[in-house]
Chains A and B, each alone.
Chain A
Amino acid sequence: MMLRAAGKRLLGAAAGRQASPAGAARRGYHERVVDHYNNPRNVGAFDKDDPDVGTGLVGAPACGDVMKLQIRVDEGSGRIVDARFKTFGCGSAIASSSVATEWVKGKQMEEVVAIKNTEIAKHLSLPPVKLHCSMLAEDAIKAAVEDYEAKKAKLEKADEDGTPAGAIRTT
């Protein structure tokens, strides 16, 4: 109930308090953004040392925006079977990364790197000042995929070199 109240306040307060830089027309958060804020999907974390997990960490606290997006990949098929996120930032940033975790689930890694920030922004009706949040979400997806692939490459190399599996893998 507190969350809902906070959501209502967010919707209402945003209209008046949003830093519309030019005193522009008042604008609230789109209902999809509020929905993701109140009911964020896939919040949480995987063990980043898990070989099936790719972790993308983008942004910086001083900017007011940090996103950590993790994917769990099925090794055999290369399909993303699960995703988690944790985001420090505005409602739009939270919603963008929440949407990102929804969209990557069930897809191949090659597919998800094609997800564009413009699609996320359109889905959430982000205003111009918040397009940067959707860009960060796109970056987070790509970073997670890259991390998984780098990990995999490292593990495969270790196998080739004959390094004892126990030295690298964490189960």
Chain B
Amino acid sequence: MASRKLLLGLTAGRRLRSRTHQLFSVANLLEASTSHSPAAAVASTQPSGGSPAALLFSLRTISSTRQATQSAGDASGRSAVDHKLIMPEDEFHKLADETIHDLLEKLEEYGDSIQMDGFDIDYGNQVLTLRLGDLGTYVVNKQTPNRQIWLSSLVSGPSRFNWDAATNGWIYKRTRANLVQLLEEEIGELCGTPVELS
């Protein structure tokens, strides 16, 4: 695992264009007792030549792209990565960071205005944590490999939001809920005062 993380770090700047092959089977990963990257077919658009750069590029492709096909045998889409990753990573970061920073600002203002005991917001390592005193905690973070924003809500539990360009928002596919609206509803309810987060 550490070796894969190192490779991801080294190739962080590369833009991924490969769309096609399932590059390795997750089942193989579990069968094998090591966590080394498998010797799998490489992406069709990798740079030519047998340079280490090409290998790094392909490994990065293996690790970061085709999650959609790697959740084997799950036609219901129940796996965590059941969508096509068509969003480039930098675009994802831009959209997600914007959303999360926006939430942070608005929640801070809200916290100041309602003067609730134990209301605490924190943002560190790109993770937003909202503590509501004894009621519990909300956590919002980016899940970059899936291009998702993950929410842990003390009301509705865990949910995973994908960017929906049509509605310009983050949507949880199972419930069609919008991230910002969901937070508005729940937090407004919990704190007793309506909140505007959009």
Instruction: Name A residues whose Cβ lies closer than 8 Å to a Cβ of B.
Output: 19, 21-24, 45, 48, 55-66, 68, 86, 88, 117-118, 121, 127-129, 131-132, 134-136, 139, 142-143, 146-147, 150
A66 to B127, CA, bound (A): 22
Smallest CB–CB gap between A35 and chain B, Å?
A: 23
Contact A143 B74 (CB under 8 A): yes
Is B29 a contact of A59 with CB atoms below 8 Å? no
- The stretch that binds A, out of B91-99, B132-140, B187-195, is B132-140
Which residues of the other chain, B, contact A19 by a CB distance below 8 angstroms? 125, 127
Say yes or no: A61 contacts B70, CB within 8 Å: yes
A57 to B70, CA, bound (A): 9
B79 shortest CB reach to chain A, Å = 5
Q: In the complex, what's the smallest C-beta–C-beta distance from B40 to chain A, in angstroms?
A: 12
Question: Which residues of B line the A interface, CB within 8 A?
Answer: 1, 4, 26-27, 29-31, 35, 63-64, 67, 70-76, 78-81, 122-125, 127-129, 131, 136-139, 141, 143, 145-146, 150, 152, 154, 157-158, 160
A103 to B181, CA, bound (A): 35
Contact, CB under 8 Å: A134 / B63? no
- Contact in complex: B80, A23 (CB < 8 Å): no
A-B contact pairs, 15 of them (CB 8 A): A19-B127, A21-B128, A23-B122, A24-B131, A24-B137, A57-B27, A59-B26, A62-B67, A63-B80, A63-B146, A64-B1, A65-B80, A128-B136, A131-B157, A143-B74
With a CB–CB cut-off of 8 A, which chain A residues contact B127? Answer: 19, 21-22, 129
Given A128-B136, A132-B150, also A58-B80 (CB < 8 A): yes
B78 touches A60 (CB 8 A): no
Residues on A with beta carbons closer than 8 Å to the beta carbon of B4: 61
Contact, CB under 8 Å: A147 / B158:
no
Contact between B30 and A66 (Cβ–Cβ < 8 Å)?
yes
Chain B positions within 8 Å of A60 at CB level: 26, 67, 70-71, 79-81, 145-146
Chain B residues contacting A61 (CB-CB under 8 Å) are 4, 26, 29, 63, 70
Listed residue (A56, A59, A62, A139) with the most chain B CB atoms within 10 angstroms of its CB: A62
CA distance A57 to B25 in the complex (A): 11
Q: Enumerate chain A residues within 8 angstroms of B150, measured Cβ to Cβ.
A: 132
A66 near B26 (CB under 8 angstroms)?
Answer: yes
A58 nearest in chain B by CB position? B79
Q: Residue of B at shortest CB range from A139? A: B78
- Select from chain B the residue with minimum beta-carbon distance to A57: B72
CA distance A129 to B124 in the complex (A): 14
Give the docked Cα–Cα distance between A24 and B136 (Å): 13
**How far is it, in angstroms, between the C-alpha of A56 and the C-alpha of B80 when the chains are bound?**
12
A21-B139, A128-B152 are known contacts. Are A139 and B79 too (CB-CB below 8 A)?
A: yes
Most buried by A among B124, B128, B157: B157
Partner of A63, one of B75, B78, B122, B145: B145
Of listed A60, A64, A86, residue having the most chain B CB within 10 A = A60
Whether A143 touches B79, Cβ cut-off 8 Å, given contacts A22-B129, A128-B137, is: yes
List, in ascending order, chain A residues with CB within 8 A of B1's CB: 64
| Bound complex: CA A65 to CA B71 (Å) | 11
| Shortest Cβ distance from residue B9 to the other chain A in the assembled complex, whole angstroms | 13
Known: A128-B139, A129-B152, A134-B158. A59 touches B71 (CB 8 A): yes
> Which 8 A/B pairs are nearest by Cβ-Cβ distance?
A22-B122, A21-B127, A62-B145, A22-B129, A60-B67, A131-B158, A128-B152, A132-B158
